[in-house]
Structure 1
Amino acid sequence: MPYNSPMQKILHSDAVHNALIKRGVTQKDLASEVGVSAQAVTNWLKGKDFPRPPALLKLAATLQLSFEELVSTTDTNQPIVAFRKKGAAITTNAHINSESS
């Protein structure tokens, strides 16, 4: 069974650029408002890096964008969960419930 890689997230750079134009500010101004370097914003928009949660929240609030408008994910699959039984043991709901906690 293949291993699924963790969910990848990138910013919708078009949404960010449109929000910057709407507000009449530059990437440098945005970086200052969010509290990061201008290079960090450039890396986010190029997909080289992704903002940490506090910066992402400030970015969304500053640009007045929802998470869905701001972030794109590559999560197309549900996680795969496998259970192994020991010998001829019967898997019960109690086993399944204890594994999901």
Structure 2
Amino acid sequence: MQGELLERFADTQSALIAALDAGDTEAMIAYTRDLGGITDALRTQGVLRADASTRSQLESLMKFNTAAAQRLRFLRDHVERRVAAIQGEQAANTYANAIPRR
């Protein structure tokens, strides 16, 4: 069951990233909701406190989270610039990579 959930998580994260890239708002909302359900199921099963192999899989899946977060920051900046342009203002460059470096 854990393997199936982790696979669904990876597939759903990939689909979310594709929706972000395509600007498909409805799909973004649906995939985000799906990810919430999958994450809850993983927590319920105790996967987040699992063995080293599962933790390794989860760490690799975090790359999907990072990719999605970067796209969201970029899209937010794009929307803020468009709103500022509509209002006749000049938007500051707000896009920044806020992901902590290790």
Q: Which has the higher contact order (CA 8 A, sep 6+)?
A: 1
* TM-score greater than 0.5 by the shorter chain: no
**Shorter-chain TM-score: what band?**
under 0.3
Structure with bigger helix share is: 2
TM-score by length of 2: 0.25
TM-score by length of 1: 0.25
Larger radius of gyration, structure 1 or 2? Answer: 1
